[in-house]
Amino acid sequence: MISSFINHKIFTLLKVQYSNMLEYRVEIALWAISGIIPFFMLNIWTNNNLNESINISDVMLSRYFLCAFFVRQFSVVWVVFSFEEDSLMGKVSPYLIQPLNPFFRYFAQHLAEQITRFPFALIIAFFFFIFNPESIWIPNIGILFLSTISTFLSFLIQFLIQSIVACLCFWTEKASSIERLLFIPTLFLSGLLAPVVSFPSYVKSWIYLTPFPYLIDFPANLLSGNPINVSGGLFMQILWILLLFPIFKKIWFAGTKKYTAMGS
Amino acid sequence: MEKNIIDVRNLSKSFDITSKEPGLKGTIKHFFRRQTKSLKVIKNISFEIKEGEIVGFLGANGAGKTTILKILCGLIYPSEGSILVSGYLPFRRKENFLKKITLIMGQKQQLIWDLPPIESFYLNASIYDLDKFEAKKRIKKLSEMLEIDEELFIPVRKLSLGQRMKSELLAALIHEPNILFLDEPTLGLDINAQRNLRKFLQKYNKETNATICLTSHYMKDITSLCKRVICVHNGTISYDGELDLLLRKLSPVKEILIVCRSEEDVIKLENSGFSVKNKNKNEITIKIENNSITSSLKTILNNFDIEDLYINEPPVDEIIGKILIKKDYDL
């Protein structure tokens, strides 16, 4: 039953959304380029020898930021903005009376966009290696497999967090403002600007209790080969998904009761 | 006897709305303390609709027609009352219920803007669990009925409004729903496109015995599709019954323009007890009650030298307009 659902509905959704995304290939290339914050951060870290304070070599640090770039490319989520626009314009109404939760559409849209992004991300990585040849490495299959799973789990966590925020559109018209508020801890605590290991230990212990380090820091460290507690990290990612999913379901059901179908 | 497919009892719906006074003072007040009040938009209405019926919902803007359709299709929750559509409580949005209905809103689209409609059709087909073969068969059948063929492969953004509306219909009907909720489906379409759409809906209703609930501000949609109308005024039902009966009630007289061969006949007609609207040389317009039209015409034709005669039906728009603007119209 579930496998036929995934095969039939999700696969068709993915196929259609991929065709749709290919219509925007130039935009996607630009979005991919716009995700190069980790490279700027790498530059700041290495130019100021900040890595010495946390005992990470230049090579390992550059691999970390390249991996952070990759993880970010495949876990970036914008569902709150799409859902907010669709619900304000009344576009959600036709989706709500179809036998498929509208969030599957957004989910497929994100996956399709990631597939479209993949070649552009590879090109950027290629140029990164040209300028940083010492950073070239080939992760083993096992690590590659685990970090792919971990990146997907990171995407799921972010998708669920944003979907919960998106559901607030049923109560407030500008749910994206809440997302903007969430962006601040995401930016600082996820490992996008600095590896979480660089934080003071008393702060670190608190950070690891939040979902943020499992968004970028954990999968990026895993992929780059830095020493890390793999099973503990994967366990925390799954735990956050298991915690967030029922919240999403509950807020979704409560929200659809409040839905007024405005704009349609 | 046809069974009821829609059963609505004492339905009410309220919305919470915020109000704001004009000006800077009002804006600041609104920022710190929102004034919210509950507005009852549907007030204790009841009606039934039989399987295969086409029912038109008439009413002015804001009367509550669209809200009724949205409640019937499960899009919004009712505040009070009970509703059964095809045996289901619509607001629970059970999969089997959703597979039986469709909602088409003239001003909204569900097709993917940058892709040809065929992609959206196959997507909808998979959402409604149709296999590829069945989807292909239905797309072929519906595209023939709607007379769209080449348009299936052209990106939606490049289609005309009429072609887009036809594609929207196809996307909404691919799962062969037996209850159609149509909210102003001909909005913005040219006369030919409107006519074609009406023809299609008639054909669909005839072939599938689908029930159709329709709102439209184009009276032609209502008169050519609906035998029964439900007039909604300020959230209440002011009339529920046959359209013909409503028109007869609201316009009990017909105007007859009579062209006589001589002016004497015009004077004779004027003095023979008919209600005269106006006269001009050898032409006279009289008003005759609907129930005496045959006998009156017989008398006129037998007693006067008539060159020509025209029976003017009062314009439906004008008659219906009366119910839409007058709050306490006696129906």
A242-258: pLDDT as tens digits: 999 999 999 999 999 88
Nearest one of B75, B122, B97 to B178, comparing CA atoms: B97
Contact A194, A45 (CB under 8 A): yes
**Whole-number mean pLDDT of chain A?**
87
pLDDT value for B42: 94
Q: What is the Cα–Cα distance from B197 to B173, expressed in whole angstroms?
A: 13
Closest residue to A93, CB basis, from B95, B108, B112: B108
What CA dihedral angle connects A217, A218, A220 and A221, to 10 degrees? Answer: 100
The DSSP call for residue B170 is H
C-alpha angle A46/A48/A54, rounded to 5°?
Answer: 70
Alpha carbon distances (Å) from A38 to A62, A135, A190, A198, B65: 9, 15, 12, 15, 54
Nearest one of A64, A2, A87, A69 to A33, comparing CA atoms: A69
Chain B touched by A172 (CB under 8 Å): no
pLDDT value for B79: 93
| Residue B8, φ and ψ in degrees, nearest 5 | -120, 125
- State mean pLDDT over A130-138: 85
Q: Would the CA dihedral through A206, A208, A214, A219 be positive or negative?
A: positive
Chain A touched by B306 (CB under 8 Å): no
* ipTM entry: 0.79
Chain A touched by B187 (CB under 8 Å): no
The DSSP call for residue B150 is G
Contact A19 B119 (CB under 8 A): yes
Q: What is the Cα–Cα distance from A144 to B163, expressed in whole angstroms?
A: 49
pLDDT of residue A192 exceeding 60, the answer is: yes
Q: Residue B4: how many CB atoms within 10 A of its CB?
A: 16
Q: What is the Cα–Cα distance from A233 to A212, expressed in whole angstroms?
A: 12
- Of all helices (H) and strands (E), which one includes residue A182? helix A176-189
A91–chain B nearest CA distance, Å: 7
Q: Residue B47: how many CB atoms within 10 A of its CB?
A: 17
Chain A touched by B126 (CB under 8 Å): yes
pLDDT value for A6: 63
Q: Would the CA dihedral through B52, B57, B58, B61 be positive or negative?
A: negative
C-alpha angle A244/A247/A251, rounded to 5°?
Answer: 140
Best probe of the B interface among A5, A87, A98, A171, by most B CBs < 10 A, is A98
Contact A80, A74 (CB under 8 A): no
pLDDT value for A2: 63
Q: What is the Cα–Cα distance from A58 to A192, expressed in whole angstroms?
A: 17
Contact B112 A90 (CB under 8 A): no
pLDDT of residue B327 exceeding 60, the answer is: no
Residue A148 Rama label (left phi>0; alpha psi -120 to 50; beta): alpha
Q: What is the pLDDT of residues B124-179, one digit of tens each?
A: 999 999 988 999 999 998 888 888 888 899 999 999 888 888 899 899 999 999 99
Nearest residue in chain B measured CA to CA from A170: B76
- Of all helices (H) and strands (E), which one includes residue B229? strand B228-233
Strand partners, B109: none
Q: What is the pLDDT of residues B4-58, one digit of tens each?
A: 999 999 999 998 877 777 887 887 877 777 778 888 999 999 999 999 999 999 9
Q: Which of B 37-76 lie inside 8 A of A, CB atoms?
A: 70, 73-76
Closest residue to A16, CB basis, from B74, B98, B112: B112
- Of all helices (H) and strands (E), which one includes residue B182? strand B179-183
**Whole-number mean pLDDT of chain B?**
87
pLDDT value for A232: 95
Contact A260 B76 (CB under 8 A): yes
Contact A68, A221 (CB under 8 A): no
C-alpha angle B11/B12/B15, rounded to 5°?
Answer: 150
Best probe of the A interface among B68, B93, B126, by most A CBs < 10 A, is B126
pLDDT value for B192: 82
